[in-house]
């Protein structure tokens, strides 16, 4: 027979063994351990009469109301068995490890492999891509990124890599974050609009979120700013099993933002089992990440040294102002990051430029390049057929 006990039973046993002995138990234990000069016999009786004590022996001790004590003991044992069978939800749930604790144990014992949970594989992917991208950007700029590693009290953490006032980039940030937490019922209800697998009857759900976020603001206004984000989200049941999951992300050029967010790129969100299986969507996200450097590096190399004047620089500052507006007011990733308990504001707002400009009711020159760009942004063009 297996010696492994169910989780609920194991937790109940630990709960019992941790409980402090009652005063009656300690007194009885003390009497039992005390030296006994004579053999003592006990007589149990509920009535007033009892057998006589033989001469030469100490008076026999009488247990008060033994049948009552037995009845109370039976009730106590019954309650204990019932608790072990049905489970004291409040105490037992505290003994079930969180998904953060489970993942820490998995990484320590076996590392991250192709058979690991998707959340760990996504974590490994974004860490590897962050290193690759930072090395490539340092080679272009000649400067070094500041690396800031941080942890979260409930599990997870992140690595923020930021370059400021470089030769090519005024500001460049490449961040990864791994977040473990708990979704309240209100958040679950909101997410069920796109994810019906979420259980609507629970008060809370554990969640995991991992993502890589990148924003590059070049010095030269002729070079486009670029934004990238790829992420994975998962919720867990009380026993640690996966409840729901989905992928999201995109890459886009954000040099000039007006009535629409970008003038070229790819974007997707809420991709789950209703679209494709998990492995296919993970491969899709990986392919998108792999395509970033081969796509953007030729653009920045070609444009980083192009000539420009004060008019182009002012236009760049105005467009950055609109970027900040969109990022703080409309961007879902920024909103989620700021609303997450224990949010690290420095990392969430890493994407903002060092400098920007807000000018009341600014209108570009009629017929100029800036005015033509605004028209394109207001009426997006299908660049790829």
**Integer CA distances (angstroms), 238 to 41, 95, 188, 209, 242, in order:** 53, 11, 15, 17, 9
Indicate the SS3 state at residue 266: strand
Geometric angle at alpha carbon 212, from 171 and 142, rounded to 5°: 35
Confirm if 240 and 99 have CB atoms less than 8 A apart.
yes
Q: With b meaning 16 or more CB within 10 Å and e meaning fewer, what string describes 105-128?
A: eeeeeeebeeebbbbbbbbebbbe
Helix axes 7-18, 66-86, angle to 10 degrees: 140
* 289: nearest Cα among 232, 244, 363: 232
Q: Give the full edge-to-edge strand order of the sheet including 156-164.
A: 146-151, 156-164, 169-184, 204-218, 226-236, 242-253, 265-271
Q: What is the C-alpha separation between 45 and 53, in angstroms, rounded?
A: 14
The interaxial angle of helices 118-141 and 99-110, nearest 10 deg, is 70
What distance lies between CA 142 and its chain's CA centroid? 34
Give dist(CA 246, CA 281) in Å, integer: 9
Nearest to 137 by CA among 297, 292, 291, 250: 297
Three-state DSSP at 261 gives coil
What are the tokens at 317?
């500052």
Q: Which residues of 58-93 are buried (b: 16+ CB within 10 A; e: fewer)?
A: eeeeeeeeeeeeeeeeeeeeeeeeebbeebeeeebe
Q: Which among 81, 80, 86, 82 is positioned nearest to 8, based on CA atoms?
A: 86
Residue 195 is a catalytic residue: no
Q: Which of 30, 38, 227, 330 is catalytic?
A: 227
Tell me the catalytic residues. Answer: 227
């Amino acid at each position: 027979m297996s010696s492994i006990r169910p989780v609920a039973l194991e937790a109940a046993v630990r709960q019992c063994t941790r409980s402090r002995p009652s005063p009656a138990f300690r007194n009885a234990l003390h009497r039992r351990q005390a030296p006994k000069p004579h053999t003592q016999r006990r007589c149990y009786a509920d009535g007033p009469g009892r057998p006589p004590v033989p001469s030469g022996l100490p008076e026999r001790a009488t247990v008060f109301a033994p049948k009552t004590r037995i009845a109370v003991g039976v009730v106590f044992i019954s309650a204990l068995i019932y608790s072990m069978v049905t489970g004291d939800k409040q105490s037992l749930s505290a003994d079930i490890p969180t998904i953060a604790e489970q993942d820490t144990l998995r990484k320590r014992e076996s590392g991250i492999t192709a058979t690991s949970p998707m959340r760990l594989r996504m974590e490994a992917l974004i860490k590897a891509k962050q290193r690759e991208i930072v090395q490539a950007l340092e080679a272009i700029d000649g400067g070094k990124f500041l690396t800031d590693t941080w942890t979260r009290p409930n599990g997870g953490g992140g690595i923020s890599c930021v370059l400021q006032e470089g030769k090519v980039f005024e500001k460049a940030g490449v961040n990864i974050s791994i977040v473990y937490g708990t979704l309240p019922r209100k958040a679950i209800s909101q997410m069920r609009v796109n994810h019906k697998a979420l259980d609507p009857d629970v008060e809370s759900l554990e969640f995991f979120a991992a993502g890589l976020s990148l924003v590059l603001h070049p010095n030269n206004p002729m070079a486009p700013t670029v934004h990238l984000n790829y992420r994975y989200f998962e919720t867990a049941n009380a026993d640690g099993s996966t409840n729901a999951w989905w992928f999201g992300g995109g890459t886009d050029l954000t040099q000039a933002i007006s009535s629409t967010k970008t003038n070229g790129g790819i974007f997707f969100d809420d991709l789950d089992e209703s679209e494709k299986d998990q492995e296919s969507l993970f491969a899709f996200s990986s392919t998108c990440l792999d395509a970033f450097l081969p796509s953007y590096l030729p653009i920045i190399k070609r444009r980083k040294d192009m000539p420009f004047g004060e008019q182009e620089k002012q236009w760049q500052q105005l467009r950055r102002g609109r970027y900040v507006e969109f990022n703080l007011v409309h961007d879902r990733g920024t909103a989620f990051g700021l609303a997450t308990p224990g949010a690290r504001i420095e990392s969430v707002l890493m994407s903002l430029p060092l400098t920007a400009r807000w000018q009341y009711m600014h209108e570009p020159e009629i017929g100029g390049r800036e005015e033509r760009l605004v028209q394109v942004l207001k009426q997006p063009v299908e660049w790829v057929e």
